[in-house]
C-alpha cells in the first residue's frame, strides 16, 4: 500500500539544480529518488538531502537518462520502494560549447540525448504511472537559452527549446488526466557545471549580465520547483516561469 508521504523523482539529482530541488522537496515533506550517472556523487547528494530533511527517505538510482532500460529501472525502483510517484523533476543537464561551424553530429546527439530525448523518455515513464494513479506533476528545468541565443551553444539552445515545446504539448495532451506540466527557465546559475567560469567574471561583466549583478544560487531555482510541486494551483499548466534575475528584460548596454 502506498505510503502517506508524496514522492518525487529528480533526474540530475547528484549536483546543482537537481540536488537543490531534491533537498527542497524533501524539506517540503516528500520522499525522493535522485537519479544521475555518477554513483559517488549521488551517494554524497543523498547524504546531504537526508541531513537537510531527516524524516525523508532518499533512494539513489544511478541511471543515464538517455538509456531506456536505465530510465525504466529508476522508475521501477521508485515504485517498488515507495509504492507511488507524485512529482517528476527533469533536471538532468549537459553543457559543452562549439561554434556551429565546428559542431559535429556526434556533439549534437550527445546534447540532445541528455537534454531533450532524456527529458521525453523520463516524462513518458512518469506519465504512464500518473495516468494510472489519477494525476501527477511534471516539472522540467529549461533555460532562457530556449529563446535567447548564446555564442557556441546552438545545440544546447535547440535542445532546451525542444524541452519547452515538449512541456506545452504535454500540458495540452494530459490535462484531462490531471497531469500538470510546467517549465522553470533559469538564467545563469552558479552550479558545478559553470561555477568556476562564473566565479572568474568581473563585477562589471556580471552587472551587464543581469541587473542583480550575480548568478542565481541553485536553491533559488529549487524554490520555484518546490512551488510548482507543492503549492501551484492545477490551473497553472503549460507555463514557463523565468528565473533569471531580470536578464531577459534588461537592455544589455552597460550603464553610464
102 phi, psi to nearest 5 deg: -110, -5
**Sequence spans of domains, the chain:** 7-247
Residue 82 has which C-alpha cell? 515507495
Catalytic annotation present for 197 = no
The pLDDT of residue 255 is 54
Of the options 3.40.190.10, 3.40.50.170, 3.40.50.720, 1.25.40.20, the CATH number for the domain spanning 7-247: 3.40.50.720
Q: What is the C-alpha to C-alpha distance for residues 130 and 80, in angstroms, rounded to an integer? A: 15
pLDDT at residue number 2: 66
Q: Rounded to an integer, what distance in angstroms lies between the CA atom of residue 112 and that of residue 106?
A: 10
DSSP letters for 203-223: HHHHHHH-TT-SPBPHHHHHH
Under DSSP, the state recorded for 23 is H
150 touches 157 (CB < 8 A): yes
CA 24 to CA 191: how far, in whole Å? 16
Catalytic hit among 75, 140, 156, 180: 156
Q: How many residues does the chain have?
A: 256
Cell reading at 165: 515545446
Task: Reduce the DSSP state of residue 183 to 3 states and report it.
Answer: strand
Per-residue pLDDT of the chain (256 residues; tens, 9 = 90+): 467 899 999 999 999 999 999 999 999 999 999 999 999 999 999 999 999 999 999 999 999 999 999 999 999 999 999 999 999 999 999 989 999 999 999 999 999 999 999 999 999 999 999 999 999 999 999 999 999 998 999 999 999 999 999 999 999 999 999 999 999 999 999 988 776 777 777 767 777 889 998 999 999 999 999 999 999 999 999 999 999 999 999 987 655 4
Q: What angle do CA 149, 189, 104 make, to 5 degrees?
A: 45
CB atoms within 10 A of CB 96: 13
Amino acid at each position: 500500500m502506498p505510503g502517506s508521504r508524496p514522492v518525487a523523482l529528480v533526474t540530475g539529482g547528484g549536483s546543482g539544480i537537481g540536488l537543490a530541488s531534491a533537498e527542497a522537496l524533501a524539506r517540503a515533506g516528500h520522499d525522493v529518488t535522485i537519479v544521475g550517472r555518477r554513483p559517488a556523487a549521488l551517494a554524497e547528494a543523498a547524504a546531504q538531502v537526508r541531513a537537510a530533511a531527516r524524516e525523508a527517505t532518499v533512494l539513489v538510482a544511478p541511471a543515464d537518462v538517455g538509456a531506456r532500460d536505465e530510465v525504466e529501472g529508476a522508475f521501477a525502483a521508485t515504485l517498488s520502494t515507495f509504492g507511488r510517484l507524485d512529482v517528476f523533476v527533469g533536471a538532468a543537464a549537459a553543457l559543452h560549447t562549439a561554434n556551429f561551424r565546428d559542431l559535429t553530429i556526434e556533439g549534437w546527439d550527445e546534447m540532445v540525448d541528455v537534454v531533450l530525448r532524456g527529458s521525453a523518455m523520463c516524462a513518458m515513464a512518469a506519465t504512464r504511472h500518473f495516468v494510472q494513479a489519477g494525476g501527477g506533476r511534471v516539472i522540467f528545468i529549461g533555460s532562457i537559452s530556449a529563446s535567447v541565443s548564446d555564442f557556441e551553444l546552438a545545440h544546447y539552445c535547440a535542445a532546451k527549446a525542444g524541452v519547452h515545446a515538449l512541456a506545452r504539448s504535454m500540458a495540452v495532451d494530459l490535462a484531462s488526466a490531471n497531469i500538470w506540466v510546467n517549465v522553470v527557465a533559469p538564467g545563469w546559475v552558479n552550479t558545478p557545471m559553470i561555477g568556476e567560469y562564473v566565479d572568474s567574471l568581473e563585477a562589471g561583466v556580471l552587472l551587464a549580465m543581469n541587473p542583480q549583478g550575480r548568478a542565481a544560487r541553485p536553491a533559488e531555482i529549487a524554490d520555484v520547483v518546490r512551488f510548482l510541486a507543492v503549492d501551484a494551483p492545477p490551473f497553472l499548466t503549460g507555463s514557463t516561469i523565468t528565473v533569471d534575475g531580470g536578464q531577459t528584460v534588461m537592455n544589455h548596454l552597460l550603464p553610464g
